[in-house]
Structure 1
Amino acid sequence: MAIKDWFGRRNAGKPAETRASIENPTVPVSAENFFAFFGVNSANLPAVTVDSALTVPAVWAAVAFLSRTLASLPRHAFRDGKEGAKRITGKIETVVNVAPNDGIGSFAFWQWFWQQVFTGGRGLAYIERTSQGIDSLWPMDPNKTTIKRVGLKVTYEYDGQSYDAADVIDVPFMRRSCGIRHYGPISQASKAIQLAIAMNDYGSNFFAGGGVPPLSLEGPLPANQEAIKRAQADIMRSVDAAKNASEPVFPIPAGYKLQPVGIDPAKGQMVEARRFQVEEIARAYQLPPVFLQDLSRATFSNAEQQDLHLVKHLIGQWAKALEDEINLKFFGRSGSARYIEHNLDGLLRGDFKSRMDGYGIAIQNGIRTPDEVRALENLPAKGGEAERLHIQGATVPLGQQNASQGAQQPANDNQNNEAQAA
């Protein structure tokens, strides 16, 4: 039976299949339709959701690292006065740095908050107030919150209730032009994440199949469809038997030949492509790749510089975003000289020697007292002279060098005269 006759009998009674062709003027051949022209459409690619994106190790690492780092930063309350800023204690310090409410600790709450920012693209928290002032912070699920603008007033509808913007901490990843909606990092980087998911799936399927790529059987076709299925089953049993027996060779019928379909991982540069996807995801979060465990280009010197880059150009900016939102919603536009600020010193501690050298310079130049330095190292205060600022005796204001030397010269002369008289 001829091949065309066999296919004709197989498709008998079925509607004619319509394919795109260059000769057909109704089918546009453009960049948008290029994959569809060759039979590939978006339905063949994995859908990207927050849950599916977190199955990509680079995305998981980025979200976990950023949320944990920002959650671990101390947040302290201060009040400006004539003698400078002083830390204040009380309910506000408890809410922002100890426990936002009775049911959750500070680290867990802020980790959840930042996870929403770095996945869906927005973190929300409701401020509970009493007659005494700020009492608690409560999490608001951004997926269940509707944000509306009526005139110039913004309200948040959550769980059947409406909340004013003044009572909601709102930190979006990036606002849209309307100022209400937002962009999320996972949705905006969905193509890069989609490719990473596809490579993960291909790699797992490839190695789950014993490293055998899809194969095509070349040779005379059997007489009917059932014979083709039996031949395919025979080949599959041979491949599985060779794989289970760890035998690299298996027999196939005479006159037939197996050919791999597609590109094998080595020729497709799968290792290089997967490493590039780590860089792409790091780029989406503006995160140095070394913090996603990509040490391919890391050295002792540039890894330390990436630490500084992380604090200056990423962590410090997100900390500022939260500080501005808390200070506005807690204290209003005037602020009443009170404010909340993150302490980033822990991220910039450096190694022991560099830290001690920095402390020594700070003490010798009157920047920190010895007791302040001891507090940074969790050591008890000594009190007395250790509470005062110190400076080296040889350091004098500019322009007073001669006066200082003149004051020292008579003293030296007097000492010499007394010694000669004796």
Structure 2
Amino acid sequence: MGLWSRLVGREERSIENPTIASSASMEDWLGFFGVSAGQAQLPSVNIESALEVPAVFDAVMFLSRTMASLPLLPLKTINGETRPSGGDLEMLLNEAPNPEWSSFAWRQYSWQQTFTGGRALSWIERQGVRPVAIWPMDPGLTTIRRTGGRKYYNFDGREYPAADVIDVPFALKHDGLTAYSPIHKGRKAIGLAIAMNDFAGTFFAGGGIPPLALEGPLPQGIEAFKRAQSDINRAIEFAKKAGRQFFGMPPGHKLSPIGIDPDKGQMTEARLFQIQEIARLFGLPPAFLQDLSKGTFSNTEQQDLQLVKHLISHWAKAFEDELNLKLFGQRRRARCAKHNLDALMRGDFKSRIDALARGIQTGQLMPDEARAMEDRPPKPGGDRLYIQGATVPLEDAGKNMVGHNGGPPLDNTQEDPGNAGDQTQN
């Protein structure tokens, strides 16, 4: 006997009649209505299915592209002055880590692994102690173990000590070896978004017609019922194709919708809420997942600041510390790698130029340094620091004014010789 037969009984039985017991168990009823063990079964979630949710794909791509686009330069400190070190290391970090990958492609791939599976790995190829290449590793094909208190990474048939592996986890578990995946930890929120996508697709693929129940005298026998069902389906399809607003029904019968109206179920609001849930999963302000439902001119600008202060800078610090440890060792003194977060202002020309002008006028930047940030060549006189002289202590006001025609400053404490004679005569 099939499930439907066990649920409704034979022809002489009726689930509306409480005097007739159904042979279906509670497990059968729960399974029939899509419920098991007291909870609904959401679609299974893995990285591939999660990336089919637009909000998840947008979050992963936005974060990975943003982090990969930041300039990453090695610096060295000589006599207390920090400056770019240049050389092969700058080429590895900011141009090409190996002959096959550009710096942007390597870093974007690494951040994609962090924001999906929860971990990014790359191994450092060295000649002696000097790094000559950086190669990305597939975290799904890498095993990590701890022996004698030290970590080792096994990948592609080789074993690498932790000192030669750049490891950026999303969040480490208690063992310090395995990492949490944001996709796995947010699987319920993502699964709900997938379920709503599937429901919306099924609903609109069916012409916006919800599941219907036929009410009235039903034909006897399974074959007669199937023919009636087929006739009704053909009538509905014919009316849809012909653009008719109604179709005929046998006397005493009517069709009633089953389930909940998407509008009454607030499906639009629910899908919008899932975007916000996914934004929370990655720590992103909702505006960066194209959710402007509560966005205004002022708070959207604040979300831009929040992105840099409370998300991008955190991940930049994590990557910088890992690079510094693995490239330069535990006791480095004069070298480090650092992101330039000012690059996030590249698209805002006015703010960028105003900031450079402010830096020059306050003696923080030489004109040539500001020009170099805009990829412009140096100019004569651009290697000096300048400062505006309009702001001076109150007691010095008027003492150091420049004379006419570029002459020397006038000292108001000295008497003008021309006026001295007049004062004597008076």
TM-score (norm 2): 0.87
> How far apart are 1:377 and its partner, in Å?
2.3
Cα distance per residue 1:266-318 (max 9 Å; x no partner): 01101100100000000100001111111111122111111111111101110
1:188 aligns with 2:185: yes
Alignment: residue pair count? 399
2:355 to 358, 364, 372: 358
Partner of 1:285: 282
Kindly state the Cα deviation for residue 378 of structure 1 after the two structures are TM-superposed: 2.4
> Structure 1 residues 259, 404: CA separation in 2 closer, same or farther (over 3 Å shift)?
closer
| Structure 1 CA distance for aligned equivalents of residues 218 and 45 of structure 2 | 41
Q: CA deviation at 1:20?
A: 4.9
2:387 alignment partner, SS class:
coil
Deviation at 1:336, TM superposition (A): 3.6
Q: Which amino acid aligns with 2:35?
A: V
Aligned positions of 1:311-326 closer than 5 A: 311-326=308-323
251, 254, 272: which one aligns with 2:251: 254
Aligned to 2:404: none
CA 1:159 to 1:356, structure 2 compared with 1: closer, same or farther past 3 Å? closer
Structure 2 equivalent of residue 25 of structure 1: none
Q: What letter is aligned with 1:306?
A: Q
SS at 1:327's partner residue? helix
**Aligned residue for 1:26?**
none
Moved more, 374-383 or 285-294: 374-383
Q: Which residue of 2 aligns with 1:390?
A: 386
Shift of 1:189: 0.5
Counterpart of 2:76 in 1: which secondary structure? strand
Distance 1:35 1:86 in 2: 68
- Unmatched runs of 5 consecutive residues or more in structure 2: 1-7, 14-22, 402-408
Gaps of 5+ in 1: 9-15, 22-33
Query: Is contact 1:77-1:341 (8 Å) kept?
Result: yes
Q: Is the 8 A contact 2:34 2:40 kept in 1?
A: no
Q: Determine the structure 1 residue equivalent to 2:35.
A: 40
- 3-state SS of the aligned residue for 2:356? helix
* Structure 2 residue corresponding to 1:91, chosen from 83, 88, 91: 88
Query: In structure 2, how many angstroms separate the alpha carbons of the residues matched to 1:57 and 1:349?
Result: 26
Structure 1 residue 235 and structure 2 residue 232: aligned? yes
1:146-295 map, 5 Å: 146-295=143-292
- Shift, 1:360, TM fit: 2.6
Q: Is the 8 A contact 2:345 2:352 kept in 1?
A: no
Secondary structure at 2:268 match in 1 = helix
Query: Sequence identity of aligned pairs in percent?
Result: 52
Where 2:151 maps in the other structure, the secondary structure is strand
Change (3 A) 1:347 1:5: closer
Q: Deviations over 1:244-265 (max 9, x none)?
A: 2222211121111111110011
Partners of 2:74 and 2:337 within 8 A in 1? yes
Instruction: Please name the residue that 1:328 is paired with.
Output: 325
Match for residue 18 of structure 1 among 25, 28, 32: 25
Match of 1:29 in 2: none
Q: CA deviation at 1:37?
A: 10
Match of 1:298 among 295, 303, 312: 295
Q: Given the alignment of the two structures, is residue 416 of structure 1 paired with residue 416 of structure 2, yes or no?
A: yes
Q: CA deviation at 1:19?
A: 2.1
- Which string of whole-angstrom CA distances, capped at 9 and with x for unpartnered residues, describes residues 73-125 of structure 1? 11001001214101011111111110011011111111111000011111011
Cα distance change, pair 356–419 in 1 and its aligned pair in 2 (3 A): farther
Corresponding residue number in structure 2 for 1:136:
133
- Compared CA separation, residues 88 and 302, structure 1 to 2 (3 A): same
Q: CA deviation at 1:4?
A: 5.6
The alpha-carbon deviation at position 411 of structure 1 amounts to 2.6
Computed over aligned residues only, the root mean square deviation of the Cα atoms, in angstroms, reads 2.7
Deviations 1:171-223, CA, capped at 9 Å, x for gaps: 01011111111111110110010000000011011101000101111111211
Distance 1:20 1:354 in 2: 64
Change (3 A) 1:175 1:35: farther
Instruction: Using structure 1 for the length normalisation, give the TM-score.
Output: 0.88
Kept in 1, the 8 Å contact 2:42–2:188? The answer is no
